[in-house]
Structure 1
Amino acid sequence: MSKKDKLTDNEDLSISDSTTLMPQEMNLPDKLCLLPLGGIPIFPGIFTPFMVNSNDDIKTIEEAYKGDGYVGFVLLKEDKKNPSAADLYKVGTAARIIKKTNLPDGAVNLFVSTIIRFRIKKILSSESPMVAAVEYLPDTGENSFEVKALTRALISEMREIGEANALVSEEMRMNLNNINHPGKIADFITSILNIEKTEQQKILETVDVRKRMEKVLVFIKKEQEILRVQKKIQTELNEKIEKNQREYFLREEMKSIQEELGVGNSHAGEYQKFKSKIDSFKFEGEIKETLDSELDKFQMMDSHDPDYNNIRSYLELVCSLPWNDEPVEDYNIENAEKILEKDHYGLEDVKKRILEYLAVRKLKNDGKGAVLILCGPPGVGKTSVGRSIANCMNKPFYRFSVGGEHDQAKIKGFLRTYIGAQPGQIIEGLKLSKTKAPVFMIDEVDKMNASNQGDPSAALLEVLDPEQNVTFRDTYLGLPFDLSSVFFILTANTLDTIPQPLLDRAEIIELSGYIDQEKTEIAKKYLLPKILVKDGFAKNQVKFTKEAYSLIAREYAREAGVRNYEKCMDKILRKIVLEQSQKFKDSKKSLKENLAGNTFIIGEPEVRKYLGKSVFDESQIKKADIPGTAIGLAWTSMGGDTLLLESIAYRSEKGGLQLTGQMGDVMKESAQIALNWSKQYAIAKGIKDSSWFEENTIHLHIPEGATPKDGPSAGITMATTFISLMKGKKIKPNLAMTGELSLTGQVLPIGGLREKTVAAKRNHIKTILIPKANERDLDEIPAHVKNGIRFIPVSRVEEVIDFVF
């Protein structure tokens, strides 16, 4: 197989006139030895050197040289070492060997004159040397008017290319001017342009000169367009180089002027420090251009300029951010489980959910960020759970609150044009944590408010959305920063006020409140050691009895969380300190020395002494001990709670229903449905006749009227209250219920059963009526919470009425 040598400007590329003769006049043979070509085809009408180094090709040359000296050059469809006839194109170029030189390395150097196109009619010998019967293809249509016009166009366009491209040598341009045959002009131009070999072969196969010249003209236009773009790029590059050189000389000149004036550059060291740090980040594109501009301004600026400190602060922020940090997932599940057990008592389902989440991340080896929402009442440990997650994952922990926030700049930063502008909390957290993959805790996301200063929830959505946070832009920073590796933990008391788009992007973990036994254990294991250190006591210097712990939980801190419980314990220790300081006021020793070795035992008398009158005494436990009352269970942002519903009937001309107790629209609708069903039931059972409802107004009241109450879970409680009033009978003691009611008497499912059960446990409820559809939720309630409580599933209100009386 042979390849055509690349010609230099100094090599001979002269034009042959042999194509002016017809094949019969040149005595061309009817069969040719075929020489396969790799690379590009050879066109008729030129003298050209040719190197042959393949054994089969040398054999073909020797055979042709012995005979009449004619050989057929045919292009290979694909380069192969041992091509067959099927690998050849059908049209090639016949040539005559003018000179043959054997080289020392065994190769053969030829000088050939290419003559005319030919088409293979039949392969006579497929073995080396390959021989084929051929027919010759002289040019057609050379003398038309269109061909003359195309000839002028080709020469003119090639002259333009020659002026722009030094690779088109002067000798080639002269040869082009000396060619008298239009077909030859097209062939010669094709051989010197950078055209793909398949396209060159198509031109070789085009016998009609006009069509051939039209094809070549298209490639000339393409070459001109490439040269135009190349020239444009070269011009822009030269201008950029000149600009950089000019700026360099101007900077050097400014330094000289400053030195002569004795001003100098007082912040040259800072500039160099910033530049070295920014260069180490290896920025590209927009970030590089922006920071280069800021560095140039900083270098040229006088330190007394008002904007000097603004630019300096901006560059300090850029240099302190972890642009090139590579997040690493370095944790194991066993250690994470130990940390969670050590940091938190109870919360078994919460800890299990967290471990499951971490295990999946470990399996996937996924360093991408995530979004968790920890939802629960105040004081149940949402923040401490978030901190424990950071410890489990060996990641820095950063926390900030958006509660009551109405300005999105808190999250996205302020414009640098403002005096005292700062970045948002997200970028500030990345700066402090020094990693692209910290654990961020965003507190109180359910308490954000939109205003004319923007919507913080919308800004937060941009931060949390994995499709957007890859190129998060802080308003102050003004550059895209990748937040996709940040682990976000959001906290909320309720999910109702959180925008739905935020909920869709988060994994929700709910934390319910604690019962008295759990509070006692938490106080003993976690709260007391913490408060001892806070108030200056030694370890084990203050001890609480079991009765004292229980009393605080029962009468002073009955809320869902343990925050008030901690305050009560702290108050007791503070009073002890004050009491002891007054006792040793005349001592010359310090109070710490006087208290050393003393142990204080806190029992029930001490709790009552230091905390005073009970906040929640037994008289405040809600009891449905008169007709027209019933106890319902509610789920609020503060956790589960018990509601005492009261109803009376009084004579009136209008009849109907009166509601008090700050109820929401949903609860008002439930009350009306409950009354309508109770009226129908009472008339059907003969408890009351229809005239009684026309002559009496029923007044339903839910105490603690200042507290907003709403939600679909009090329907059966209201109906029970009304039937109790109409019958004049009170319901069973220590009984509570939850469930919504339909007009036809169906008991509908509710939410928050766990929280409601915890509230019932705190209020000594022994029996709870629940919708039958909520039976499956009982498995999610810990056994120690359910212990001592009987659950009665009901599907219709008639079952409720039959049971409670």
Structure 2
Amino acid sequence: MEQHIIPADQILPQKLHLLPLVDRPLFPGMVTPLIVTGEADVRTVHEALEGGNFIGLVLTRTEERTSVSPDGLYTVGTVARILRKINLPDGGLNIFVSTLKRFVVRKFLQEGPPIVAAVEYPEEIGEQTDEVKALTRALLGEMKQVLENNPLISEEIRLNMVNIDQPGRIADFITAVLNIKREEQQEILEIFDIRARMEKVLIYVKREQELLKIQQKIQKQINEKIEKSQREFFLREQLKAIKKELGVPVDAKSAEYQKFKEKMERLPLPDEVREVVEQELEKFSLMEPQSPEFTVIRNYLETILSLPWEDPPPEVVDIKKATRILDQDHYGLEDVKERILEFLAVRKIKQETKGSIICLVGPPGVGKTSIGKSIARALGRKFFRFSVGGMRDEAEIKGHRRTYIGAMPGKIIQGLKIVKTKNPVFMIDEIDKLGISFQGDPASALLEVLDPEQNVAFRDHYLDVPFDISKILFIATANTLDTIPRPLLDRMEVIRLSGYIEEEKIAIARRYLIPRSLEEHGLSKDAVKYTTPGLRAIIRGYAREAGVRNLEKAVDKIHRRVAKKLVMEELSQEELPVTITPENVETYLDKPLYPEEETKRIKKPGMALGLAWTPFGGDVLIIEAVATPGREGLSLTGQLGDVMKESATIAYTYVRSIAPRYGLPLEFFERHHIHLHVPAGATPKDGPSAGITMASALLSLVADRKLRPQLAMTGELSLTGNVLPIGGLKEKVIAAKRARVKEIIIPRSNEKDLEEIPEYIRKGITFHMVESMEEVIDLLFEEKLKRRRK
């Protein structure tokens, strides 16, 4: 830019063609080139040249490079003389203009394109006052500091600023040089009072100084960091040289490399694994620590070299010790203990672990997990437990491939890394609750883990090398077998834990639950005493389930309340021990969950006691039938499954078919609508084993005779009256024992299952084996129903 003075004889036109400027306004007194590209702007320049070479330069109100109307222009601009025009190859123009003076648009004569306006040239005021002279000196002084600290401003611009002798032009020139917004420059262009203009520019110069100070501070900090990093680099290089002379590993990476290499040479790795580790070690040595893959390789090497590759010592199975440990840890479950001891005896004789997979099946709280721990203790092995309940991603079992961010090995390899031995006991909890999703099928992944033909060379996706997991003793736990995939179930030896009867729960509470709970709650061994009737009241009123979890919670609650009374001095040490009896149980446990009056008993015709199996153990169901006058039919309620609904229909049809044989009126069915209900209504139920129970309830209703009290039954009924075998007999008998049932009707085909139930559970119960419904009918009533002769 150059300063340019208007000749004294220069006459400025009162009508101007206006050229819109987008980037920033131009100030008077400068010579500068302009590139004109738009078709409308090129026409504006040509018409201006034809009308005397004068053109008006006006800033647009927005930065959009589109066609501009008069409303999109500021009304104060700069008149300029076109000194030279050069045609460009693309049709545009390069013009050199000399800016002369500010003008104000008074009226738009042509809205364009091109835009033509009538203008006037107001005079600037206040140029020769003392205040303006002082402001000029201050402005030049402040600007000098800006120019000294800003290397981007050329020497030519500095000389031009010094040579300007008009205060207004000095302010304009500085405004054009400063890096301020286009709107702020336009604001200064519109100020005709020189003093006010210089004060405004002085504010912007001060702001520029502050920005330069901040910039210098930042630059200084960056330079210091660079110098520090260069210094640290030289020091590190010196340290490397010193360590090399001393024979010490040069850096952390070298130390890790040496550690990995020594560990690899020490471990008995198979050839395939050793080759992979050597390749990864070579990559590790060549890779910079800042590389993202460096951490991936280091974690991989750390994992693979932390695994127990050495073969374990020969297994020593001491059956007597195992018997002692199982008896110490568990009361009852004699058949389960016997099965486990048989399993261990085979291992002792055969000295072969291949194919050793146990599945403990039973309701919650019966001790499945603790039995797994006891087996590990009996074998002298380490124990690792993980749950697969709700697992939906097969990578949880077989690991993630290393191509994924955050990849890690599966549960099997993680467990081996933790226990650091090749032959631990792994407990896989909740195997019946495996899920399936788009991420894969974990049950299918477990097939490889549990298959003795495949797990000798198990490949985790993360490791991607074979690892022998056949020496692991796998113990799975489940509440039910129904939801375990059949191929997976075939690979396991099933051991059932059926639950506990009342006497067993009392013994478990005395031997295990009460002493442990007293210690956990900070009470002495003699702080709370339990009478046998007191424990029986707790079990009957608060813990009737198959396991002992609710019993443990009840004992914990009693001890918490005793501890609270001691702390609040409602109870003194002299008043200990607290004795729990049936009379004060409710004081500590509130109202019973199972009031005595709700005990399931036969109270009227149409009621029958059935035995059911659930994932939470056996249960006693009371089936109710009611007849109402109306259209013939059968309604079923109680959330019955399809199989149970079919059993109810079979029972209804059968009872109707035999009614005449027992002298019962067939008209009863034609004149009544029968409603069959199986409480509790909120619990889903299914299965065929309630067939004879439903038929008995319907027969009781039609005969209007109450069934014998304390008689329960289970068995599938065929349409012709045959009683077919059922499953879960042990769980059902235990449930009957808990409910104090005295007689049970079972299918004769289940007689062999009855032999597997311990004698102490069967004691006090009379079992009736039947093959047909007619035999059942003979046992239902105090006085037998008489059959008519055919």
1:453-472 counterparts in 2 under 5 A?
453-472=439-458
Deviation at 1:327, TM superposition (A): 4.4
- Match for 1:298 among 264, 272, 284? 284
Contact 2:501 2:737 in 1 (8 A): yes
Contact 1:627/1:729 (8 A) holds in 2? yes
2:691–2:717 Cα contact (<8 Å) kept: yes
1:621 aligns with 2:599: yes
1:262, distance to aligned residue in structure 2 (A):
11
2:575 and 2:420 map into 1 onto residues whose CA distance is 45
For residue 212 of structure 1, what is the aligned residue in structure 2? none
Work out whether 1:449 is the aligned partner of 2:435.
yes
Quote the residue 1:519 is aligned against.
Answer: 505
Conserved? CA contact 2:317–2:344, under 8 Å: no
Provide the C-alpha distance between the structure 2 equivalents of 1:680 and 1:301, rounded to a whole number of angstroms: 86
Instruction: Write the distance in 1 (CA, Å) between the matches of 2:574 and 2:596.
Output: 39
**Aligned-residue offset at 1:661:** 0.8
Give 3-state SS (helix, strand or coil) of 1:522's partner: helix
Per the TM alignment, residue 294 of structure 1 is displaced from its structure 2 partner at its CA by 1.2
Partners in 1 of 2:643 and 2:776 — Cα distance? 22
Give the alignment's Cα RMSD to 1 decimal.
Answer: 2.2
Q: Which position in structure 1 is the counterpart of 2:699?
A: 723
Aligned counterpart, 2:399: 413
CA contact (8 A) 1:627 1:730 kept: yes
CA distance in 2, matches of 1:703, 1:376: 23
The answer for the alignment partner of 1:642 in structure 2 is 620
Q: Which amino acid aligns with 2:626?
A: I
- Displacement of 1:353: 0.7
Please report the TM-score for the alignment, with normalisation by the length of structure 2: 0.66
Once the 2 structures are TM-superposed, how far is the Cα of residue 357 of structure 1 from its aligned partner? 0.8
Alignment pair present for 1:686 and 2:663: yes
Q: Is the 8 Å Cα contact of residues 716 and 741 (structure 1) preserved in structure 2?
A: yes
Residue 533 of structure 1, CA deviation: 1.8
Q: Which runs of 5+ in 1 are unaligned?
A: 1-254, 586-593
- Between the aligned partners of 1:419 and 1:262, the Cα distance in structure 2 is 36
Cα offsets for 1:362-415 (capped at 9, x unmatched): 111224351000000100011111111111111111111111111112211122
Give matches, 1:280-319, under 5 Å. 280-319=266-305
Separation of aligned partners in 1, 2:305 and 2:615: 43
Match of 1:752 among 719, 728, 731: 728
Question: Aligned to 2:323, what secondary structure does the other structure show?
Answer: helix
C-alpha offsets along residues 426-473 of structure 1, whole Å, 9 cap, x if unaligned? 111111111111100000100111111111111111100011111111
Aligned to 1:391: 377
Which residue is equivalent to 2:216? none
Given the superposition, is the C-alpha separation of residues 666 and 298 from structure 1 closer, same or farther in structure 2, using an over 3 Å criterion?
same
The residue number in structure 2 matching 1:104 is none
Distance 1:392-1:282 versus aligned 2 partners, 3 A rule: closer
C-alpha contact 1:369 1:485 (8 A) present in aligned 2 = no
Aligned 8 A contact 2:655 2:695 in 1? yes
**Same amino acid, percent of matched pairs:** 54
1:785 is the counterpart of 2:761: yes
What is the CA-CA distance between 1:257 and the residue it aligns to?
12
Q: Provide closer, same or farther for how the CA distance between residues 284 and 378 of structure 1 changes in structure 2, counting only shifts above 3 A.
A: closer
Quote the residue 2:179 is aligned against.
none
Match of 2:510, SS state, is helix
SS at 2:612's partner residue?
strand
1:549 is displaced (CA, Å) by: 1.1
Distance in 1 separating the partners of 2:596 and 2:452? 52
What residue in structure 2 maps to residue 7 of structure 1? none
Q: Distance in 2 between matches of 1:597 and 1:361?
A: 54
TM-score, normalised by the number of residues in structure 1: 0.65
Q: 1:491 matched to which residue of 2?
A: 477
Q: Is the 2:448–2:458 contact (alpha carbons within 8 Å) kept by the matching residues of 1? A: yes
Partner letter of residue 702 of structure 1? V
| 1:302 Cα offset (Å) | 2.2
CA distance in 2, matches of 1:722, 1:605: 41
Q: Distance in 2 between matches of 1:656 and 1:293?
A: 78
For the residues of structure 1 that align with 2:406 and 2:510, how far apart are their CA atoms? Answer: 47
Q: State the partner residue of 2:557.
A: 571
Q: Partner residue of 1:798?
A: 774
Residue correspondence of structure 1 range 280-679 to structure 2 within 5 A: 280-368=266-354, 370-583=356-569, 598-653=576-631, 655-679=632-656
**Whole-angstrom CA distance in 2 between matches of 1:577 and 1:502:** 48
User: Is the CA contact 2:322–2:379 (under 8 Å) kept in the aligned structure 1?
Assistant: yes
Q: Which moved more, 1:524-533 or 1:643-652?
A: 643-652
The correspondence of residues 209-220 of structure 1 with structure 2, limited to 5 A, is: none
SS at match of 1:583: coil
Q: Return the alpha-carbon distance in structure 2 between the equivalents of residues 552 and 475 of structure 1.
A: 51
Cα pair 1:327 1:437 within 8 Å, conserved: no
Cross-structure match for 2:23: none
Aligned-partner Cα distance in 2 for 1:550–1:331: 39
For 2:674, which of 676, 698, 703 is the aligned residue?
698
Check whether the contact 2:268–2:309 (CA below 8 A) recurs between aligned residues. no
Superposed CA deviations along residues 172-228 of structure 1, whole A, max 9, x for unmatched, are xxxxxxxxxxxxxxxxxxxxxxxxxxxxxxxxxxxxxxxxxxxxxxxxxxxxxxxxx
Contact 2:638 2:682 survives alignment (8 Å): yes
Task: Tell whether the 8 Å contact from 1:327 to 1:485 is kept in structure 2 after alignment.
Answer: no
Distance 1:596 1:341 in 2: 36
Worse overlay, 449-458 or 275-284: 275-284
AA of the residue aligned to 2:296: N
Q: Distance in 1 between matches of 2:269 and 2:577?
A: 63
SS of the aligned residue for 2:252 comes to coil
Q: Is the 8 A contact 1:375 1:493 kept in 2?
A: yes
Structure 1: distance between partners of 2:317 and 2:457: 28
Cα offset, 1:599, TM superposition: 3.2
Q: Equivalents in 1 of 2:548, 2:715: separation in Å? A: 28
Give distance in 1, aligned partners of 2:288 and 2:524.
58
- CA 1:509–1:803 in 2, change beyond 3 Å: closer, same or farther? same
Task: Count the aligned residue pairs.
Answer: 541
CA distance in 2, matches of 1:665, 1:471: 45
Distance 1:560 1:460 in 2: 29
Amino acid at match of 1:610: Y
Kept in 2, the 8 Å contact 1:266–1:303? The answer is no
**C-alpha distance 651-257 of structure 1, shift in aligned 2 (>3 A):** farther
Unaligned runs of 5+ in 2: 1-235, 245-249, 782-790
What residue number does 1:89 align with?
none
**Which amino acid is 1:531 matched to?**
S
The offset of 1:515, in angstroms, is 1.0
* Map 1:45-84 → 2, pairs under 5 A: none
Q: CA deviation at 1:671?
A: 0.9
Indicate conservation of the 8 Å contact 1:713/1:750, yes or no: yes
Secondary structure of 1:336's partner? Answer: helix
Q: Distance in 2 between matches of 1:651 and 1:606?
A: 49
